[in-house]
Amino acid sequence: MSLIGTIIDSLVTALSAAAPTSTVTRTMLDFAFRDEAELEAGVFTVISKGIEGNEPEEYLNLLLVGQVLVRASEDDTDPQAGDLLEEAEHTLLDQVHCFIRGAKGAQLKLGTVRQSMQLDRPYGWISVPLRVGPFDLGCLLDVATMDPFITFNADWDMAPPDGQIDATDNVTLEQ
């Protein structure tokens, strides 16, 4: 898998943990092709929009789309239907905010969030641009397959308790 795909999959896994009642995927589907029970619980789709910046500091631009289904009544004529739909969209957004606050590692920056404005009722959605990074996307380093000649000099600030290592030591990267 590509480095970018690995990063996005990691984000999907982390969002799944932060929003355990929702489905989190990388495949965008129209409401008609989603299971109603999934939509009622909420569905998040993580979509790659591109990359910005220059090596070694690049950022992934992602779009996080949340989809939800709220049937206020059988015929959808309940006067509170719009309020309920917006509340469901806000709940999805709350999950995104909790995810971002709890995220470890790369910085996640939220862009301008858009909502359905009740135009697709009983379906609702949120569109959340995310800027993720910085990353060095130039190459994927796999420590397990690196040549053993890749070493660096590590200076010790203080000797280890066993006293067996000199003040400096050559260290090989190992997994």
Position 138 pLDDT exceeds 80: no
Q: What is the mean pLDDT of residues 60-69?
A: 96
**Hey, what amino acid is at 33?**
F
Position 104 pLDDT exceeds 90: no
Q: What is the mean pLDDT of the chain?
A: 82
Looking at residue 131, what is its pLDDT?
A: 93
Q: Where are the domains of the chain?
A: 3-135, 143-172
Q: Which residues pair with 62 in a beta bridge?
A: 48, 130
Contact between 82 and 66 (Cβ < 8 Å):
no
Radius of gyration of the chain (CA): 23
Q: How many CA atoms lie within 13 A of 16 on its CB side?
A: 11
Higher pLDDT among residues 50 and 78, named by residue = 50
pTM for this model (two decimals): 0.75
Contact between 23 and 40 (Cβ < 8 Å):
no
Q: How confident is the model at residue 166 (pLDDT cuts 50, 70, 90)?
A: low
Position 71 pLDDT exceeds 90: no
Domain 3-135 in CATH 1.10.150.120? The answer is no
Position 57 pLDDT exceeds 50: yes
- Let me know if 40 is exposed, middle or buried by CB neighbors in 10 A (0-12, 13-18, 19+): middle
